[in-house]
Amino acid sequence: MFDHTKYQPFPAIKLQNRTWPQNQITQAPLWCAVDLRDGNQALVEPMSVLEKQKIWGLLIDMGFKHIEVGFPSASQTDFDFVRWLIEEDQIPSDVTIQALVQARDALIERTYEALKGAKQAIVHVYNSTSPTQRNKVFKQDKQGIINIAINGAKKVQQESEKYPDTQWTFQYSPESFSSTEVEFAVEVSDAVMNIWQPSADKKAIINLPATVECAGPNVFADQVEYFCQHIKQRNSIIISIHTHNDRGCAVAAAEMAILAGADRIEGTLMGNGERTGNMDIVTMAMNLYSQGIDPQLDLSDAARITNTVEACTKIATHPRHPWMGELVYTAFSGSHQDAIKKCLAIQEDNATWDVAYLPIDPKDIGRDYQSVIRINSQSGKGGVAYILESEFGIIMPRWMQIEVSVAVQKHSEKMEGEVNAEDIHQIFQRQFVKPSHHMPDEYYQLGDYQVQRQQGLSQHHKEHIQANLNTPQGCHEITGYGDGALQAFCQGLSQYFNIEIDIVQFAQESQGRHSDAQAMAFVQLKINGNRYTCAAKQQDSLGASLMAILQATNMYLGQQKKAA
């Protein structure tokens, strides 16, 4: 039964003279990315070591200075990954790794073994403090919970003394802070700080998690402000926030927590995490950016961020995801399109950004105006994708729909008449599947190929491909290496033809629902700075993908030959 009476409203915080509603965010917080821990534990298929390495590389390039790298005492994979970071010297000198551990002696010892040899590291110890956890899980009174925290704090400090070459920072989380009496959260945290005795020169971190988001972001802000007002040694403590998204307010709660006095934010790229997710660092950082505040993170390559997160988490980015979604800067409405065009026409370079329906300049994160205009140009022509799917079983990704729609529109304008279903299919085949008018005389076709997977943590590439390119004049063999078979194939083509090839867009779709269904691949390549879009159909998805890449390469070679 859908019965709301089984729930009780969260009690209000008794906070006198709250200040956070009048405050403003004027600078970015200290960020801590927890994709390799919280983000990873929330996945149906946890990340492999190679996938963790990709996420790590992205986080470093984006500029994160604190990165939680795992729970090495509870996972051998996490332990091995931490050791790889340290032993292979993968940690920049200005980056501090963080390891999570429960307040249990054996686990704390194992954590320090994993972190041995790091130049600097944060040991993040926690125990749960809420009434539900105290009474129903641990069956402890308040003093029992405080004792667990004190013992954990002592063990963390003792173990650190065995490794004097590392610069240690201690972090404590009263887990389930959002559900804990705020007075008790202060009490238990003070008990931990009494053990660690932080100073202004050697600060400790207290992390306040909304382990479950059980009230509005204004209530969480009250909890944080109360905590900041009442915790002892405040000038020697970094107050960190770790919000979850059960009510859909994780970003709002984190921003309000900064207004309430917090210094640091933990979260994940794109908000992946337990239940409905963690705090979305990309969204919050872009929120700051749009207000003229330097987010202290490089978010200029939206495609790399979303593609890497999708590849490593197996979670697609929603097309309406804030700031980074594929359709965020797209207006299908004709009136929106008209307003955008008029504003862009008078927007001056280096002037304050002021364009209707576009809160930021899409170019700042690697998008272009062409994508906005092309998508809008589909207004009234959205049936193109529907006809290809319903009449011919061709299911296209959104970006390919745009390319095909533009081609159909140009044909319609040229013919000054109606374009029927067969015409649309022929345009698709002629322009993208078999673009013979662009092909060189020595047309390269895909022959046999073999793909081998490379093993080992230290391998820079993990795929090796050998492929034959057939022409009327003979067979040509290429070899290539890359993070995947497609990148390896592109690398081989680049080397063989002495050109630069980058994959801009890629998608695969099964064409049909039966056992004889074929795969269709769609690719958009940037070859020596120019874009080429192609599609190919094969029995297997990899073969279709390689054929599509080769078709686009043929298009480039044909154009170069004609130009010469």
Above 70 in pLDDT, residue 358?
Answer: yes
Which of the residue ranges 240-254, 359-373, 374-388, 447-461 has the most confident prediction, judged by mean pLDDT?
Answer: 240-254
**pLDDT the model gives residue 364:** 95
Q: Please check whether residue 485 lies inside any domain of the structure.
A: yes
Question: How many residues comprise the chain?
Answer: 564
SS3 486: helix
Torsion of CA 261, 266, 268, 269, to 10 degrees: 50
Residue 286 shares a structural domain with residue 355? no
134, pLDDT greater than 80: yes
Domain boundary among 436, 460, 481: 436
Backbone angles phi, psi at 67, to 5 degrees: -135, 120
Q: Which of 106-115, 161-170, 370-379, 547-556 has the lowest mean pLDDT?
A: 370-379
Structural domain includes residue 7: no
Average pLDDT over residues 80-94: 97
My answer on whether 424 and 443 are in the same domain is no
Question: Residue 357's domain spans which residues?
Answer: 334-436
pLDDT of 382 reads: 46
Predicted pLDDT at 471: 85
Whether 128 contacts 176, CB under 8 Å? yes
The token pair at 192 is 């931990």
Query: Residue 377, Cβ neighbours under 10 Å: how many?
Result: 14
Task: Give the C-alpha separation, 539 to 508, whole Å.
Answer: 12
Q: How far is Cα 342 from Cα 338, in angstroms, rounded to an integer?
A: 6
Task: Report the number of distinct structural domains present in the chain.
Answer: 3
Mean pLDDT for the chain? 90
**Dihedral-angle region of residue 421 (phi above 0 means left; psi in -120 to 50 means alpha; beta otherwise):** alpha
Whether the pLDDT of residue 528 is over 60: the answer is yes
Q: Are residues 88 and 235 in the same domain?
A: yes
Kindly report the backbone phi and psi dihedral angles of residue 504, in degrees, each rounded to the nearest multiple of 5, phi listed first.
Answer: -90, -50
Q: Does the residue 321 lie in any domain?
A: no
The pLDDT value recorded for residue 376 is 30
**Is residue 257 situated within a structural domain?**
yes
- Residues 403 and 451 both lie in one domain: no
Residue 499 sits at φ, ψ, to 5 deg, of -135, 165
Long-range contacts of 508-512 (CB under 8 A, 24+ apart): 508/541, 508/544, 508/545, 509/395, 509/396, 509/397, 510/395, 511/393, 511/394, 511/395, 511/537, 512/393
Is the pLDDT at 421 greater than 90? The verdict is no
Q: Rounded distance, CA 96 to CA 69, Å?
A: 10
Same domain, 351 and 480: no
Question: Are residues 34 and 112 part of one domain?
Answer: yes
Residue 524: which H helix or E strand, with range? strand 518-527
pLDDT at 380 over 60: no
Name the residue among 343, 364, 247, 356 with its Cα closest to residue 299: 364
Q: Sorting pLDDT into bands at 50, 70 and 90, what band is 79?
A: very high
Same domain for 536 and 488 = yes
94 and 178 housed in the same domain: yes
Least reliable range by pLDDT among 99-113, 343-357, 434-448, 475-489: 434-448
Query: What pLDDT was estimated at residue 367?
Result: 82
Model confidence at 438: pLDDT above 60: no
Looking at the fold, whether 427 and 554 belong to one and the same domain comes out as no
Contacts of 210 (CB under 8 A, 6+ apart): 177, 178, 220, 241, 242, 243, 244, 250, 253
| Rounded (10°) CA dihedral 35, 41, 42, 46 | 90
Can you name the residues that pair with 537 across neighbouring β-strands? 520
Q: Is the pLDDT of residue 231 over 80?
A: yes
Cα 337 from Cα 344, distance rounded (Å): 11
**Secondary-structure breakdown of the chain: helix, strand, coil percentages, each rounded to the nearest 5:** 45, 20, 35
- Encoded amino acid at 67, one letter: I
C-beta atoms surrounding 275 within 10 Å: 11
Residues 149 and 159 in one domain: yes
pLDDT of residue 204: 98
CA–CA gap between residue 544 and residue 557 (Å, rounded): 20
Question: Is the model more confident about 326 or about 419?
Answer: 326
Query: With 50 as the cut, is the pLDDT of residue 379 above it?
Result: no
What is residue 136's DSSP assignment? I
Give Cα separations from 387 to 393, 424, 485, 520 (angstroms): 9, 8, 32, 17
Report the alpha-carbon distance of residue 91 to residue 160 in Å, rounded: 20
Structure confidence at residue 388 (pLDDT): 82
Q: Indicate whether 448 pLDDT > 70.
A: yes
Q: Which of 160-164, 434-438, 441-445, 455-459 has the highest mean predicted lDDT (pLDDT)?
A: 160-164
H helices present in 88-118, as ranges: 105-115
* E strand spans, 57-119: 66-70, 96-102
Give the strand order in the sheet containing 530-538.
501-511, 518-527, 530-538
- Residue 4 falls inside a structural domain: no
Strands 237-243, 30-33: pairing is: unpaired
Whether residues 463 and 487 share a domain: the answer is: yes
Least confident of 79-88, 290-299, 416-425, 507-516: 507-516
**What is the separation, in whole angstroms, between the first and last Cα of the chain?**
74
Q: Tell me, what CATH number does 306's domain have?
A: 3.20.20.70
Whether 279 contacts 248, CB under 8 Å: no
The whole-angstrom separation of Cα 125 and Cα 175 is 10
Domain contains 21: no
pLDDT value of position 16: 85
500 falls within a domain: yes
Q: Which amino acid is at 551?
A: Q
Q: Which of 268-282, 323-337, 486-500 has the lowest mean pLDDT?
A: 323-337
Using the 3D structure, point to which of 387, 417, 436 is the last residue of a domain.
436
- Average pLDDT of span 483-510: 92
Cβ-based neighbour number of residue 514 at 10 Å: 6
* Same domain? 309 vs 450: no
- Say whether pLDDT at 307 is over 50: yes
The residue from 436, 465, 489 where one domain ends is 436
Label residue 374 by pLDDT band (50, 70, 90). very low
Mean pLDDT of 71-98: 96
Do the bridges between strand 120-128 and strand 167-175 make them parallel or antiparallel, or are there none, so unpaired? parallel
- Residue 523 contacts residue 546 (beta carbons within 8 Å): no
Q: Is residue 139 part of a domain?
A: yes
CATH code at position 446: 3.30.160.270
pLDDT band of 373, cuts 50, 70, 90:
very low
Tell whether the model's pLDDT for residue 378 goes beyond 50. Answer: no
C-alpha span between 517 and 511 (Å, rounded): 6
Give alpha helix (H) positions in 237-327.
250-259, 281-290, 302-313
